[in-house]
Amino acid sequence: MKRSHEPVFWLLFGAGGMLSALVGPVLVFITGIAVPMGWLAPDALDHARVLAFARHPLGALAVWAVVSLFLFHGNHRVLHSLHDLGLHTGRVAQLACYGTATLGSVLAAVLLVSIRG
Amino acid sequence: MGGWWRRRSVHRRYMLREASALCITAYALLLLAGLVCLQRGEAAYAAWRALLGTPWSIGLHALALPLIAYHAITWFQVMPKTAPRLAVPPRWITLGGLALSALLSLALLVALWWVGR
Amino acid sequence: MSDTTPTRRITLEVQSYHPETDSAPHLQRWDVPFTDDMSLLQGLQHIKDHLDGSLSFRWSCRMAICGSCGFMVNGTPQLGCQVFLRDLAPGPVRVEPLAHFPVLRDLVVDQGSFLDKLEAVRPWLVPAHPQPLGAGPQRQTPQQMAQYQPYAQCINCLLCYAACPQVGLNPGFAGPAALALLHRWNADSRDVGWAARRDVANAEEGVWGCTLVGDCSTVCPKGVDPAHAINQNKVHSAADYLGLGRLLARRAPPP
């Protein structure tokens, strides 16, 4: 039987799943509801603050981890859901899902480096 | 096998769990868009902020929040299945994970409130 | 002594299929008298004994140890000897052959694909050294036995295969019971067969065919928890993939 390369993507899926399980709900609440509604620190997301956060090595790492791992987690599950729905899209879907996650991760890294100014 | 998941509630719940991944990917792409805007400057970033402030965005986030919370809960429910037997009772792993998630969420909310006051 | 005169009746809708005459399976309705102590299996036996002698179904022990009498009961895989007509009343009860297997006749399915998968995982002890009878029994601590004992309870009833959507979507998937038994032997302290079984485990049709629906563990009548066995081995398979397989290989116990 051919060895599957699934372990690589499963480990990334697992890391993303753990991260999104720990901070996913609160992040969605903060950025998508609480701050826009003014319930919580309306200027917490203002340009200067977020730029400073993203320039800090730990802040950059946090942003990159969330973007990258969330993408790998979500896309891995989407890929398997396509299979569950009986859509046998094979290599094309794999490339689309993991390719998007990889491109997103690379783009995030490049952007975080370039804003260091 | 079409619609196989519609017949039993355990399978419907499984598909709901898998569907939560769409929100995780969507949120990551939203953050990535924010990162692009951040890199492009204040005006672009302000546009991203404005998008987050629209009723559509807040509404979608309000729909995504319970789905991502469902991901978090089901994640910690199944996590014991990857742990060796007898290491720790499965219930402890689940409750421990949920507790950690709650703790981190609270810490983040408090930190942002502190920063913004 | 309880009064065994049947006072209630229940309708069983049982799938019938005679390949020599039928083009497709169909449901047959039977009116079955029952007492509170009768299982669904006994209901089927009543049909065979008194109503239609041609009804075909597997059964043996009547006590959930042989694994023969698995059926879909109102869409859920169950052992006929473990579900009682009193709990299914007022009915009607739909009884169909186990899902995800070809039907040979009525409620009898072709288990051949499972037997092939079972053989592929080498479900036997692979000892480090030959154990002559004269050496006496191999000893284990209770902790060592606890590592594999639940997985050794599998009676090959195939309810888990009927419950698993991935088996339905991908007939090549090794499936819950075979992978649980793969783990049963890997987890046995007397066994050093990880290397012999790794190809099955590491394949797409091995542990990676599982998406942790978890229904297998829910329907298992013996508490085997195949979902746990499979997903623990995802960790092992990933470690093996990263070249950490040495950590998995059990050091041979002293001869």
CATH of the domain at B74: 1.20.1300.10
Q: Can you tell me the distance from the alpha carbon of C201 to that of C40, in angstroms, rounded to the nearest whole number? A: 37
Higher per-residue pLDDT: B31 or C248? B31
Q: Are C100 and C21 part of one and the same domain?
A: yes
- Chosen domain end from C109, C124, C155: C109
What is the reported pLDDT for A93?
92
Domain extent for B61: 4-116
Residue C238 placed within a domain: yes
Q: Can you tell me the distance from the alpha carbon of C176 to that of C227, in angstroms, rounded to the nearest whole number? A: 7
3-state helix, strand, coil in chain C (%, to 5): 35, 15, 45
Tens digits of per-residue pLDDT, C162-201?
999 999 999 999 999 999 999 999 999 999 888 889 999 9
For A34-42, which contacts have Cβ atoms below 8 Å and span 24 or more sequence positions?
A34/B109, A35/B52, A36/B52, A36/B53, A36/B57, A36/B58, A37/B58, A40/B109, A40/B112, A40/B113, A40/B116, A41/B112, A41/B113, A41/B115, A41/B116, A41/B117, A42/B116
Nearest CB among C199, C208, C238 relative to A11 is that of C238
Residue C184 placed within a domain: yes
pTM: predicted TM-score of the whole model, two decimal places: 0.92
> How distant, in Å, are the alpha carbons of A65, A107, B109 from that of B32?
11, 8, 22
What is the reported pLDDT for B116?
75
Residue C205 placed within a domain: yes
Mean pLDDT for chain C? 92
Higher per-residue pLDDT: C124 or B116? C124
Nearest C-alpha in B relative to C169 = B1
Residue C255 placed within a domain: no
Confidence band, pLDDT 50/70/90 cuts, at residue C255: very low
Q: Are C117 and C103 part of one and the same domain?
A: no
Nearest CB among A28, A41, A46 relative to B64 is that of A28
User: Taking 80 as the threshold, does the pLDDT of residue C248 lie above it?
Assistant: no
Nearest C-alpha in B relative to C143 = B86
Give the CATH number of the domain where residue C27 resides.
3.10.20.30
B19-43 mean pLDDT: 96
Q: Are C211 and C176 part of one and the same domain?
A: yes
Nearest C-alpha in A relative to B41 = A47
Q: Is B45 on the interface with A (CB under 8 A)?
A: yes
What is the reported pLDDT for B47?
95
The conformation of residue C62, written as its DSSP 8-state character, comes to: S
- Chosen domain end from C90, C109, C128: C109
What is the reported pLDDT for C117?
97
Q: Are C94 and C75 in contact (CB under 8 A)?
A: yes
C219-240 mean pLDDT: 94
The conformation of residue C148, written as its DSSP 8-state character, comes to: T
Residue C252 placed within a domain: no
Provide the domain count of chain C: 2
Q: Are C134 and C37 part of one and the same domain?
A: no
Most A CBs within 10 Å: which of B1, B20, B25, B73, as the mutation test of the A interface? B25
Tens digits of per-residue pLDDT, B38-57?
999 999 999 999 999 999 99
Question: Taking CB atoms and an 8 Å limit, are B4 and C76 in contact across chains?
Answer: no
Taking only Cα atoms into account, the Rg of chain A, rounded to an integer number of angstroms, comes to 17
Q: Is A15 on the interface with C (CB under 8 A)?
A: no
Confidence band, pLDDT 50/70/90 cuts, at residue C1: very low
What is the reported pLDDT for C2?
54
Residues in chain B closer than 8 A to A84 (CB atoms): 5, 15, 18
Residue C54 placed within a domain: yes
Q: Are C201 and C179 in contact (CB under 8 A)?
A: yes
Confidence band, pLDDT 50/70/90 cuts, at residue C130: confident
* Residue segments in chain A with a per-residue pLDDT below the cut of 50: none
Q: Is A3 on the interface with C (CB under 8 A)?
A: yes
Phi/psi of residue C14, nearest 5 degrees: -105, 130
CA nearest neighbour of C217 among C204, C205, C208, C230: C230
Q: Are C126 and C211 part of one and the same domain?
A: yes
What is the reported pLDDT for C246?
67
Confidence band, pLDDT 50/70/90 cuts, at residue C136: confident
Q: Are C151 and C180 in contact (CB under 8 A)?
A: yes
CA nearest neighbour of C61 among C172, C156, C190: C156
Question: Taking CB atoms and an 8 Å limit, are C228 and B11 in contact across chains?
Answer: no
What is the reported pLDDT for B3?
82
Q: Are C134 and C235 part of one and the same domain?
A: yes
Nearest CB among C143, C169, C228 relative to B1 is that of C169
Structural domains of chain A, with CATH: 6-114 (1.20.1300.10)
Residues in chain C closer than 8 A to B94 (CB atoms): none
- Chosen domain end from C76, C91, C109: C109
The conformation of residue C28, written as its DSSP 8-state character, comes to: E
The residues, ordered by sequence, that sit 6+ positions from A25 with a Cβ below 8 Å of its Cβ are B65, B68, B69, B72, B101, B105
Q: Can you tell me the distance from the alpha carbon of C66 to that of C220, in angstroms, rounded to the nearest whole number? A: 13
What is the reported pLDDT for C105?
97
CA angle B21, B24, B27 (to 5 degrees): 150
Residue C142 placed within a domain: yes
Q: Can you tell me the distance from the alpha carbon of A22 to that of B104, in angstroms, rounded to the nearest whole number? A: 7
- Residue A87, helix vs strand vs coil: coil
Q: Are C136 and C94 part of one and the same domain?
A: no
Nearest CB among C165, C203, C234 relative to A84 is that of C165
Confidence band, pLDDT 50/70/90 cuts, at residue C68: very high
Q: Are C95 and C176 part of one and the same domain?
A: no
Residues in chain A closer than 8 A to C199 (CB atoms): 1, 3
Residue C18 placed within a domain: yes
Q: Can you tell me the distance from the alpha carbon of C130 to that of C43, in angstroms, rounded to the nearest whole number? A: 49
Provide the domain count of chain B: 1
Domain extent for C166: 112-247
Q: Is the dihedral of CA C58, C64, C70, C75 positive or negative?
A: positive
Phi/psi of residue A29, nearest 5 degrees: -65, -45
What is the reported pLDDT for C193?
87
Percentage of residues in chain B having pLDDT higher than 90: 78
Least-confidence region, from B94-98, C73-77, C122-126, C244-248? C244-248
